[in-house]
Chains A and B, each alone.
Chain A
Amino acid sequence: MTSVSRILAVWLTPAVMLAVPAGLAGRGPDGLWLGLVVTLVPLIVLGLGAGRPTAPPGDAFRTGATLFPVVTLLITVGVLLWANIALAGDVAAWLGARRWQGIVVAAAAGWLLTAWRPLRRMTPLLLAVAFVAAAAALLQLAWALGLGPFAVWERVATQPAFRFPPSSPWVTSGRDLGAVRGGRPLVFDEVHRLIAPAGGVLRALTRDGTRLAEIEWALAPGQMVTLRAGDQITPGSALRLRFEADKRVPGAPASGMAWAEGRPRRWLERVGLLVTLLVGAAAVLRAGLTVRLSRDGVGFVAGGLLLAFAWAQAWALYAMIQAPDVLLGGVTLERLIELPAPALFAEPWRRTLQAVLLVAGLAAFLASSLALRERLGALDSTGGGEIGHDPGLWAGLFGGAALASLWPVDPWALSLLALGGAGCALGPAALWPPAQGRTAATAGVVGLIVFASFAAAQLGESSGGRLATAVAYPALVAAPAGFFVLWLGRRARR
């Protein structure tokens, strides 16, 4: 049971888990593809060469080459922790607390659990708590709405437009525009009156015929400004704003039908995502390990992945039907931890359900932290798992991740970067084990260099066409490069 829960917890970190409903709500079929890939890829990786040691012992592997997978996985674990602690900070800020409070709670609890030996076998329990709590919140929501998931899908897909409900916090009390970090432009489709309850400076690009003009308003507390169809709030505006009820949500899909169809379908980007997660799963679930699962074990892993995907789909749908403002400016992960039912439950029931959701998130994070520690410890060549039991090392990892999390980052982008980088360094050798550890290390270094080169291009100006896809998903080029080196190594041995 431990290895089953370890596989699930390593793979389904909160950032990955929430990226699926965020993708489903924001991008329709593209999010569905993400969910399907997240569900199927671990099974493919477990099936590919299961039972074979992926790191055959050899002289080279016992010495210098051993260090490469350990260091790579250590960095990967650190970045994954960073992504999830940053998510905890985002959640705290979104729910009205201070960002550092969420970071401190997550990092301190994670470190305590990894450092305190009696608590180290709690992964299955924490995972069960996360599943049960998340399912309880979902079932309560479905019961209160009186709609099953299929009926909700149909209702979402036939929405003529996604509009602010009167009970939305964006309508009743207003929210800080700086919290909208989804990346989609806040373009208005109709006349919309905005109120700044605390005042502030609002910048917008307004359209006058074919002419665009940037206008800045210095609003007094409670002052209102009217934007017309085609106007856009300039990115970076940070003031509390109240939107109008029953008006279209800026940045949301044009209609339910447009959301369900999700055109245009970019197949190369879908392949890029698949390759990234495939090699990433190979790295975090297989590299350096011999994974043997019984039929029951495989059933539990597959069943757990299926349940997680079903939850993600249902959660995205209920959020969209009950709180379409989740789509404002693009969906970000932390918004999905908020109970999407501002008017559905009376107090104290609402607070209780919100607390249950937070418990699910924290339990999932702690389970992932423990599982990542065990995963790294299992690589220890001495067999004692010292890497996983060093409190100083783990204090450094959690402390570093917590410090880095003080600056907001996109947890999903960071997770994808970690999985892609680890995948290109360790994935090819894990999926196609070479006879010599030195060949695996060479392939890993080449894969990592190619990955880093393309990933660095993300910081520069965006390029068009297929190169843009390779830059967005560097594993699309780097993983084949690693496999090519492995192939050369095999040919050289013959």
Chain B
Amino acid sequence: MRRVTTRTIGVVLLALLLAGFLLLGALPNQVADIRVAGLALLWWYGGVLAPVLAVLVAIRWLAEPLPTSPPDE
């Protein structure tokens, strides 16, 4: 079985962030159009929340792991 790396977690989280937009848009009763602090929920999510979370996910999970220092001789 293949090992689940931190990058896999990051990619899955980013994919979920994208899926969240489609899901929010598909919710019944125009939930996505409810305005919170002047902005519709869909715009809060797609324009602010998801991109900012994506940056945090990328920094936390997508970076190349630091090289392990060689053992002291």
Report whether A274 and B18 are in contact in the complex, using a CB–CB cutoff of 8 Å.
yes
Please provide the 7 A-B residue pairs with the shortest distance between their CB atoms, ordered closest to farther: A295-B63, A154-B38, A302-B58, A302-B55, A47-B11, A32-B46, A47-B62
**Which of A44, A297, A309, A310: most chain B Cβ within 10 A?**
A44
Per DSSP, chain A at the interface is helix
Q: Name the distance in Å between A282's Cβ and chain B's nearest Cβ.
A: 12
Bound: A298/B10 CA distance, A: 12
A207 at the interface (CB under 8 A from B): no
Bound: A299/B52 CA distance, A: 12
Q: Closest chain B residue to A293 by CB distance?
A: B64
Report whether B54 and A43 are in contact in the complex, using a CB–CB cutoff of 8 Å.
yes
Residues of chain B lying within 8 A (CB to CB) of residue A32 = 21, 42-43, 46-47
Q: Can you offer 7 A-B residue contacts whose CB atoms are under 8 A? A: A32-B46, A36-B46, A37-B18, A43-B58, A44-B14, A47-B7, A306-B52
Bound: A38/B59 CA distance, A: 18
Report whether A39 and B51 are in contact in the complex, using a CB–CB cutoff of 8 Å.
yes
**Which listed residue, B14, B40, B46, B47, touches A43 by the CB 8 Å rule?**
B14
Which of A161-169, A240-248, A259-267 forms contacts with chain B? A259-267
Report whether B30 and A47 are in contact in the complex, using a CB–CB cutoff of 8 Å.
no
Interface string of A296-310 (1 = CB under 8 A from B): 011101110110011
Q: Closest chain A residue to B11 by CB distance?
A: A47
Residues of chain A lying within 8 A (CB to CB) of residue B46 = 29, 32-33, 35-36
Bound: A306/B46 CA distance, A: 12
Q: Name the distance in Å between B19's Cβ and chain A's nearest Cβ.
A: 10
Bound: A295/B58 CA distance, A: 9
Bound: A150/B35 CA distance, A: 12
Q: How many A-B residue pairs have CB under 8 A?
A: 115
Interface size on B, residues (CB 8 A): 36
Residues of chain A lying within 8 A (CB to CB) of residue B21 = 32-33, 36
Residues of chain B lying within 8 A (CB to CB) of residue A267 = 22, 25-26
Bound: A64/B59 CA distance, A: 39
Q: Closest chain A residue to B25 by CB distance?
A: A265
Per DSSP, chain B at the interface is helix
Given contacts A32-B43, A33-B21, A36-B21, contact A150 B38 (CB under 8 A): yes
Bound: A40/B10 CA distance, A: 11
Q: Closest chain A residue to B56 by CB distance?
A: A302
B1 at the interface (CB under 8 A from A): no
Show the binding face of B for A, using Cβ within 8 Å.
Answer: 7-8, 10-11, 14-15, 17-18, 21-22, 25-26, 30, 32-33, 37-40, 42-43, 46-47, 50-52, 54-55, 57-59, 61-64, 66
Bound: A326/B11 CA distance, A: 37
Interface size on A, residues (CB 8 A): 42
Given contacts A29-B46, A295-B59, A299-B58, contact A50 B33 (CB under 8 A): no
A292 at the interface (CB under 8 A from B): yes
Report whether B38 and A151 are in contact in the complex, using a CB–CB cutoff of 8 Å.
yes
Report whether A150 and B63 are in contact in the complex, using a CB–CB cutoff of 8 Å.
no
Q: Name the distance in Å between A456's Cβ and chain B's nearest Cβ.
A: 29
Given contacts A32-B43, A36-B51, A302-B54, contact A43 B62 (CB under 8 A): yes
Residues of chain B lying within 8 A (CB to CB) of residue A293 = 62-64
Given contacts A36-B46, A306-B52, A309-B51, contact A48 B11 (CB under 8 A): yes
Q: Name the distance in Å between A315's Cβ and chain B's nearest Cβ.
A: 13
Residues of chain A lying within 8 A (CB to CB) of residue B42 = 29, 32
Report whether B62 and A40 are in contact in the complex, using a CB–CB cutoff of 8 Å.
no
**Which listed residue, A51, A265, A274, A313, touches B47 by the CB 8 Å rule?**
A313
Residues of chain A lying within 8 A (CB to CB) of residue B59 = 295, 298-299, 302
Report whether A154 and B39 are in contact in the complex, using a CB–CB cutoff of 8 Å.
yes
Given contacts A267-B22, A306-B55, contact A44 B11 (CB under 8 A): yes
